[in-house]
A and B are shown apart, each in its own frame.
Chain A
Amino acid sequence: MRRRLASAGIAGALAVSLAACAQSERGEAGGEGGTFTFGAAGAPDLFDPFYASDGETFRVTRQMFEGLVSFKPGSAEVEPGLAESWESSPDGKTWTFKTRQGVKFHDGTDFNADAVCKNFERWYNQTGAGQNQALSYYWIENFGGFADGQTPSLYEGCQAPDPNTAVVKLTRATSKFPDILGLDPFMIQSPTALEEYQANNVQAQGDSFVYSEYAKSHPTGTGPFTFESYDQGNGTIRLTRNDEYWGEKAKIQNLVFRVIPDETVRKQELEAGGIDGYDLPNPADLAALREAGNNVQVRDPFNIMYLGVTQKNNPKLADLKVRQALAHAVDRETLVKANMPEGAEVAKQFYPKTVDGYADDVQQYDHNPEKAKQLLAEAGASDLTVNFYWPTEVTRPYMPDPRGIFNTVADDLRQVGVTVNPVSRPWNGGYTDEVDNAKADLFLLGWTGDYNSPDNFIGTFFGTTENRFWTQASPWGEDLANQLQAADSEPDEARRNAMYQDINRKLMSEYLPAVPLSHSPPAIVVSDQVEGLQPSPLTAEVFDTVSISG
């Protein structure tokens, strides 16, 4: 023991002189405005947002890039971005954007309507590996196919009649427009830099993809921060303030992301002053983090966790009464109180009430075990047995404690006589594979919205009949998909919202392909020295408003 103290003592003594040195070094690097250091849970895959679909990549790229539209800080509402204004034709197929003047890319070239069209054309003309969903997920999901015409595309063309007007033509109206243009993959990049560093040069190689020089070290946007370096050996990404930024310049001089995969380590780093903030703190730590003087901000919930039902393998689950029995069996109020962080809400339909088309008068399923038993008996399913899947080695913003949530839901189901066979799989070790391949009868899963559109929630879940709920097995599966498609293509907003409300009512009363459980607000924490952070329900914070005191 004494030896340990002695060793540590030597270490401590050596550190005393360094502590002051390290402090001053941080200050120096900060310069005017200082340095904001954020603890990231993972390394960004690359710096070209078009080829990305993961949050840790977007967390970095959204500091450097901007889209034609933006999301209002602190909300999911769209506001002007690189486009000052826009209007659509009555049929919703032609969108005219007035682009902002006097904006320059980080490489000094001009942002204008021509650059907008070049970006659209780049996305649409992807070939080879660039067409793979692993790279172009957001394009495929939102725009469909590419220029080769193998799959229909939402995109038809883009013209720049003058330097400040970009006209984007679509093949059909969609509720997603223009909101999707605020998504990270559709941020506008410098055509000059894209060409100079061969941004489209992505290739499938071995078990993975190889990215371009652009994606590795030359990301060039118009945003408030510019790329400086990525030190993989030390796991740090450094950005600096863009002093030529067209809008209000960032308050901090340097923005550093430190990659710290372990959540406990991130918490300790914040306590030790090594980072100034991190995302998604463990709900169990929130009270302690606050007590220590940190600023824990809870975002508005913009997600859904549901009890998924796969109708493929268990014929009894194809009976609406059985699914309704499951909904009555689960005590969602208790689940939210016992297993969810503060601010969580019981989900009454498949998206939060802040999203358009939310219906207040959908059928409710209160906790009623007797009713559940009765419905099961009526369906001849009193002996119902289910394989109930739940994930390990993961937490998601909508599912902070998978084991606890599973136990609570499974106990509720057992209370009404359902025999539960628990099946746990690591998240990346088969869980999502087996759920998507319809191996589960019941499963826990959820979704965080990308933008404020019902299509981004229920359109993603049930927009085609080939989904993890196996709605193709139901006579209503195709109807539901068609209704969703029709609502998405309705250009009149009021009529569209009414259509979505109608779908939500049917989803909860006639279809019930899954049981909505909860909306859970993800938190973000910064030290007491940080001011001006504006949490986003889309978890899409830009750190230009942040300042460091002390």
Chain B
Amino acid sequence: MLRYTVRRLAQMVLVVFALSILLFAWLRSLPGGPVSALLGDRATPESRAALEAQLGLDRPILVQYWSFVSRAVTGDFGTSTGVQRGTPALEVFLQRFPATLELSIMALLLAVAFAIPVGYLAARRRGGWLDNVSIVWSLVGVAVPVFFLAFLLKYVFAVELGWLPASGRQDTGIDATRVTGFFMLDGVLTREWDAAWNAFVHLLLPAVALSTIPFAVIFRITRAAVLDVMDEDYVRTARAKGLTGMVIRRRHVLHNAMLPVVTTIGLQTGALLAGAILTERVFNISGIGQAVALGFERKDFPVLQVVIVSAAMVYVLVNLVVDLSYALIDPRLRTR
């Protein structure tokens, strides 16, 4: 288990390193660049050339990459040129990541909390009303683009009904203390309950919108897995042995059906980060999704590098955790 973990971690380092090279080269091959963003539309060719020289952007790309790597190992990933101009790129990431994580966790919790019980019940009563309704809903969840659903939810519940906030992470009038950057958690830690509640309410619409795809996928996998397991010989044997329905369902069906479900949850966690880009834009949440969108718009290379590489690291880490939990759930994998 330890060797496996170490090997996977080493792979992760390689993946991230390769990605950083590709990303560095690709960003610099794009037209425009930070110099245009810094100088604005009133730049002259002379001022561009002077600024490129001052920032070292006129040097060969390998030299620039080496400079980037040597600074990066000291924790200096450059300074934002457009997203939060003048702020260290790493700080931009650290400041915005909690917003994305908070939103993704909330969406995932919503998806898991509904998808697993509904998937299980739908499988148990295959062909029943819950099964049919859930299948249709899961199809809708996959087919309807997240941003469309986000706009729709926002229009109905924020703009028309005025029940929920239309955007942002917290009301501007709330003078909340920032501790971790997770607004809900901060409210709890500082016992500023209004602030925590306000942050929670701001999260609802975007989280519901973002949870539709993971709900659909986790629901379908749970349903299929439960159906498969219920047809297995050991379940029939358990019934023949006279075990109660509750014990069979908990010990044999649910336990064994969870393996593919956990994998799916892991993969969906990665996908959520991608979905958050659109959701953050619609609900104006200052997360890393919005940073990526603004980063491309304003050619903010340092921020794009930190955010994309870090997102990739999170994705790879999540996959590692999934694989490890696989081993925990299925003892056979531990002995291999």
**Known A206-B76, A232-B95, A232-B286; contact A256-B172, beta-carbon cutoff 8 A:** yes
Whether, in the assembled complex, A236 has its beta carbon less than 8 Å from a beta carbon of chain B, the answer is yes
The residue from A21, A258, A274, A432 contacting B36, defined by CB atoms under 8 A apart: A432
* CA distance in complex: A428, B40 (Å): 9
Find chain B residues with CB under 8 A from A248 CB. none
* A416-438 interface code vs B (CB 8 A; 1 in, 0 out): 00000000011111111110110
* A273 to B166 alpha-carbon distance, docked (Å): 9
A208:B198 contact, CB within 8 angstroms: no
Dominant secondary structure of chain B at its interface with chain A: helix
A284 within 8 A of B: no
Contact across chains for B137 and A3 when beta carbons are under 8 A apart = yes
- How far does the alpha carbon of A216 sit from the alpha carbon of B91 in the complex, in Å? 14
Instruction: Write out the residue numbers on chain B whose beta carbons fall within 8 Å of the beta carbon of A207.
Output: 34, 55, 57, 78-79, 81, 301-302
Query: In the assembled complex, which residues on chain B have CB atoms less than 8 Å from the CB atom of A21?
Result: 194, 197-198
**Interface residues in A1-42 (C-beta closer than 8 Å to B):** 1-4, 7-8, 11-12, 14-16, 18-19, 21-22, 25-26, 28-30, 35, 37
Is the Cβ of B290 less than 8 Å from the Cβ of A134? no
Residues on A with C-beta less than 8 A from B286 are 232-235, 259
A25 in contact with B194 (CB, 8 Å)? yes
Which one of A206, A231, A433, A436 has the highest number of Cβ atoms from chain B below 10 Å of its Cβ? A206
Is residue B126 contacting chain A, with contact meaning CB distance below 8 A? Answer: no
Query: Contact at B79–A432, with CB atoms within 8 Å?
Result: no
> Is A54 on the interface with B (CB-CB < 8 A)?
yes
Hey, which chain A residues are within 8 Å of B198, CB to CB? Answer: 18, 21-22, 25
Contact of B156 among A8, A18, A430 (CB under 8 A): A8
- Which A residues touch B81, using CB under 8 A? 207-208
Does A159 reach chain B (CB closer than 8 Å)?
no
Given A21-B194, A25-B194, A207-B57, A16-B290 contact (CB < 8 Å)? no
Bound CA span A15–B168, Å: 15
B42: which of A12, A45, A53 is its contact (CB, 8 Å)? A53
Within 8 A of B (CB), among A198-252: 204-211, 215-216, 231-236, 238
**1/0 contact trace for B265-288 toward A, CB 8 Å?**
000000000000000011110100
A426 in contact with B32 (CB, 8 Å): yes
Whether B167 and A25, one on each chain, are in contact in the complex, defined by CB atoms closer than 8 angstroms, is: no
Interface code B72-87, partner A: CB below 8 Å = 1, 0 otherwise? 0000111111001111
* Closest B residue by C-beta to A216: B86
Is there contact, CB below 8 Å, between B158 and A272? yes
Interface string of B19-62 (1 = CB under 8 A from A): 00000000000111110111111111111101100110100000
Please measure, in the bound complex, the distance between the C-alpha atom of A12 and the C-alpha atom of B113, giving whole angstroms: 18
Assess whether A29 is in contact with B173, with CB atoms less than 8 Å apart: yes
Contact (Cβ within 8 A) B201 A15: yes
Given contacts A14-B204, A428-B299, contact A25 B163 (CB under 8 A): no
User: Residue A334 at the B interface, CB < 8 A?
Assistant: no
Asked whether B51 lies within 8 Å of A234 as measured between CB atoms, the reply is: no
The 8 Å CB contact of B43, one of A204, A234, A429, A436, is A436
Instruction: Give the Cβ gap from A167 to chain B, nearest Cβ, in Å.
Output: 31
Task: Give the chain A neighbours of B54 by CB distance below 8 A.
Answer: 129, 132, 204
Query: Hey, which chain B residues are within 8 Å of A507, CB to CB?
Result: none
**Contacts A28-B173, A53-B40, A208-B85 known; A12 to B164 CB distance under 8 Å?**
yes
Contacts of B77 in A (CB 8 A): 206
Q: Are B134 and A3 within 8 A (Cβ)?
A: yes
Whether A428 touches B86, Cβ cut-off 8 Å, given contacts A137-B39, A208-B78, A269-B166, is no
The interface residues of chain B lying within 8 Å CB-to-CB of A256 are 172
Q: How far is the CB of B22 from chain A (nearest CB, A)?
A: 18
Name the interface size band of chain B.
Answer: 35 or more
Is residue A46 contacting chain B, with contact meaning CB distance below 8 A? yes
Contacts of A231 in B (CB 8 A): 178
For residue B78, which residue of chain A has the nearest CB? A206
A25 touches B162 (CB 8 A): no
- Known contacts A3-B133, A19-B163; is-contact A433 B31 (Cβ 8 Å): yes
Residues of A within 8 A of B172 (CB): 29, 35, 37, 234, 236, 238, 256, 258
Which residues of B sit under 8 angstroms from A125, Cβ to Cβ?
A: none
Contact across chains for A274 and B40 when beta carbons are under 8 A apart: no
* A8-B162 contact in complex given A1-B136, A21-B194, A204-B54, C-beta closer than 8 Å: no
Contact of B205 among A3, A11, A425, A466 (CB under 8 A): A11
Whether A274 contacts B205 by the Cβ 8 Å rule is: no
Q: How far is the CB of A153 from chain B (nearest CB, A)?
A: 17
Whether A137 and B84, one on each chain, are in contact in the complex, defined by CB atoms closer than 8 angstroms, is no
B234 contacts the other chain (Cβ, under 8 Å)?
Answer: no
| B114 contacts partner chain A, Cβ-Cβ < 8 Å | yes
A260 touches B167 (CB 8 A): yes
**Interchain CB contact under 8 A, B84 and A232:** yes
Decide if B164 touches A25 in the complex (CB within 8 Å): no
- The answer to whether the Cβ of B145 comes within 8 Å of any Cβ in the partner chain is no
Chain B residue contacts of A432, Cβ below 8 A: 32, 36, 41, 43
**Residue in chain B with minimal CB distance to A27:** B173
Q: Which residues of B contact A426 (CB under 8 A)?
A: 31-32
A121 proximal to B (CB < 8 A)? no
Interface assignment of B223: CB less than 8 Å from any CB of chain A: no
A11:B204 contact, CB within 8 angstroms: yes
- Taking a contact as CB atoms under 8 Å apart, the answer to whether A233 and B79 are in contact is no
Taking a contact as CB atoms under 8 Å apart, the answer to whether B51 and A133 are in contact is yes
Chain A min CB distance to B35 (Å): 8
- Cβ of B51 and Cβ of A22 under 8 Å apart? no
Known contacts A133-B47, A262-B284; A393/B297 CB under 8 A: yes
| 21 A-B contact pairs sorted by A residue (CB < 8 Å) | A4-B212, A8-B157, A11-B164, A15-B157, A19-B162, A19-B163, A25-B173, A54-B40, A129-B54, A206-B77, A207-B81, A208-B55, A208-B79, A208-B80, A208-B86, A235-B286, A261-B281, A261-B284, A265-B283, A268-B154, A429-B299
A132-B54, A204-B55, A262-B284 known; 7 new pairs, CB 8 Å cut-off, are A45-B85, A206-B76, A232-B286, A265-B282, A271-B166, A274-B168, A433-B32
> Which 6 residue pairs across A and B have the least CB separation, nearest first?
A430-B31, A29-B173, A206-B78, A272-B166, A208-B79, A15-B163
